[in-house]
Structure 1
C-alpha cells in the first residue's frame, strides 16, 4: 500500500498584499492526490502604492518584505515544506528596482522570487480547481482582480477561448491611475469576445470577492447575483473608510480597495451581460501549489 504526505509552499507577492500558502498533499495508491490548505498567512504590504505612484519600492517596504520572507522561510521550515515557489506580479513587474529587491531578498532570507507577467499569472491560476467549475454546457468569463491588474479568461463549453490582462487594478484605481481609454478598451474587448454567446456567467477570484461572498452567507457553489453585488457596492459607498472598518468588520487594507474591486466585477458583468458571479475561492497561491506538485512528479 503506497501512502505519502507531502507539504508544499506558495508565495504570492501582489500589489496589495503578500501571501504564503502551505498545503498538504496526500498520495494514496493510484488515487488522485488530495490537496488541503494547511496554513495561510497574509501580510498587508501595499507595494502598488509605492510603484504606481513613484515607480519604485520604498526602503521601508523593502525592509518589511525581507522580514516577511524571513518569517515565511521559518514557517516553511517548521512545517517541513518539501518545495516552494515564490512569484511576484504587477507591482514588482513595474518597479524600477524590482530586480534589485528580488536579489536583496534572496541574499537576506534565502527566498528566491520569480517576477512573472500577466499571461503566466493567468496560466498558473488556470491550474487550480477552476477546471471543476468549467461546465461544458456553459460560457464563463473568469475575472481575477488584483491590486495592479485584472486578468480575464473566457471559457466556452469546456474550452479556453481567449485570455487578456489589463492594468486595471484596485490600488491603481484608488490612486486615480486608470485612464478612461483603458476602461473603454476593456469594455470593447469583453463585449467583442462575449458577443457570440447568448448566456454568460462570471467566475470571480481575488481577496475582495472572496470577502463579499463570505459576508453574503451563501453556501459554496451558489452564485451572487448582479443585483446583490450592486446593492453591496451601494452599501459600501454609504459608509466612509472608518465606518467600513468598524461597522462592516473589514480589514484596514481591505476597506478601501473593496470599492474599486466591486466596480471592476460589476462592469465586467454588465459588459458581458452576466447575471451571476460564482466565487470558488481560488487564487494564485492555489495554482502555484499545483504547479509545484506537478513539477515534483515529472
Structure 2
C-alpha cells in the first residue's frame, strides 16, 4: 500500500492529509485516511505586520512536529509541504523554512500563486465537466483567490489575486486588486458563453453543506446570496452559538461568500458547482502524477469536508 501526505500551510489554517494510494488495472485512486486542520491564522501576522510573530512561529513548529510524528506512525512514503499567501508575504518566511527543517525535519516550499493554481488544478475536476460549457474555476483562500478559465475541459487562462478572507477581515484587501481581478475576469471570459462556475476551498465547501443541496448538484447564485444575507444578519457569536459554526470558520465564511457572490455577479454565472476538493487534495494528486503513471486518471474515493 502506497501512502502519501500533503501539508498545506495557508493563511487561515494548516492542514495535513494522509492518503492511501491504490491501483487497480488502469485506475489510480486515493482514500483519505487522516485529515487534520489547525487554525493558526498566520495571515493575521503576515498581512498586518509583514512577518510571522514568534508566538505563531512556535505554534507552527509544534504543529509541524505533530504532523511529522503522524506521518512517521502512518509510514508515509512521500509528502509535499506547501506554504501559500501568508508565508509568501512574510519577511521571515525563509527563516521559518529553515526552522521547520531544523526542528521538525520537514522540507517546506513557499509556492507562488501560479504554482498554487497548478496544484489546485491537479485535482483534474475537468474530467467531469460538460464539454459544451465553459467554466470559471474559483478557489478562495485566506490570502488569495486563484482563478482559472476552462474551455473544452482545457485550462486556457489562470491567475492568482491577493484577495482573501483574512485580508478582508484585516482590511488589507485593496480596491485596485479588486478592480484588477474584475478586468481580468471580463477579458478572459468575454468570448465564452454558457459560463458556469466551480468553487473550491473550505468556506464554499461549508456553505454547500449548509445549503442542503444534493451531492453533485450546483449551488445557485440566488441561494448563495440568500445564505450570505442570512449569515451577515447574525453576529459572530450567533454564528457560533445558533448556527454551530466553529469560531475559526464563523468569521471567514462571510467574506468568502462575498468574494464568490461578487465574481458570480461580474460574470453573470447562475450556478456554482462545488466538488469539495482543495489544496491538500491537489497536492496528493500532484504527487501521484509525479511519481506514478501520468496518463492514468486519478480519483479521490472519499470526500472530506
Partner of 2:27: 32
Q: After TM superposition, which residue ranges in structure 1, 4 or more long, deviate above 4 angstroms?
A: none
Cα RMSD after superposing both structures:
1.1
Contact 1:199 / 1:273 at 8 angstroms: preserved in 2?
A: no
Q: Does 1:162 align with 2:151?
A: no
- 1:65 equivalent in alignment to 2:39: no
Other-structure match for 2:235: 240
In the TM superposition, what are the counterparts of 1:172-187 in structure 2 within 5 Å?
A: 172-187=167-182
In structure 1, the partner of 2:86 is 91
Deviates more, 1:119-128 or 1:178-187: 178-187
Q: 2: CA distance between counterparts of 1:161 and 1:273?
A: 20
Larger RCO, structures 1/2 (Cα 8 Å, 6+ apart): 2
Which whole-Å deviations, capped at 9, do the CAs of 1:131-152 have from their partners, x for residues lacking one? Answer: 2233211110000001111000
- Decide whether the 8 Å contact of 1:25 with 1:36 is kept in 2: yes
Residue 64 of structure 1 deviates from its aligned partner by: 0.6
1:129–1:282 Cα contact (<8 Å) kept = no
Q: Which digits, 9 at most, give the CA deviation of each residue in 1:171-201, with x for residues without a partner?
A: 0011111122221121121122111122211
CA contact (8 A) 2:87 2:110 kept: yes
Looking at structure 2, the residues matched to 159 and 237 of structure 1 have their Cα atoms a distance apart, in angstroms, of: 36
Question: Deviation digits for residues 219-238 of structure 1, max 9, x if unmatched?
Answer: 21100000000000000111
Question: Does 1:191 find its partner at 2:181?
Answer: no
Report the secondary structure of 1:254's partner residue. Answer: helix
Q: Aligned runs of 1:97-246 on 2, under 5 Å?
A: 97-246=92-241
* Residue in 2 that maps onto 1:20: 16
Q: Once the 2 structures are TM-superposed, how far is the Cα of residue 129 of structure 1 from its aligned partner?
A: 3.8
Distance 2:230 2:129 in 1: 31
- What residue ranges of structure 1 are gaps of 5+ in the alignment? none
Matched-pair contact (CA < 8 Å) for 2:127–2:153: no
Q: What is the alpha-carbon distance in structure 2 between the residues aligned to residue 198 and residue 84 of structure 1?
A: 40
Aligned length: 293
Q: Is the 8 A contact 1:51 1:95 kept in 2?
A: yes
| 2:20 matches 1:8 | no
Aligned counterparts of 1:15 and 1:126: Cα–Cα separation in 2: 19
Whether the 8 Å contact between 1:17 and 1:44 is mirrored in structure 2 is yes
Q: In 1, are the aligned partners of 2:133 and 2:193 still within 8 Å (CA)?
A: no
Aligned counterpart for 2:267 among listed residues 268, 272, 295 = 272
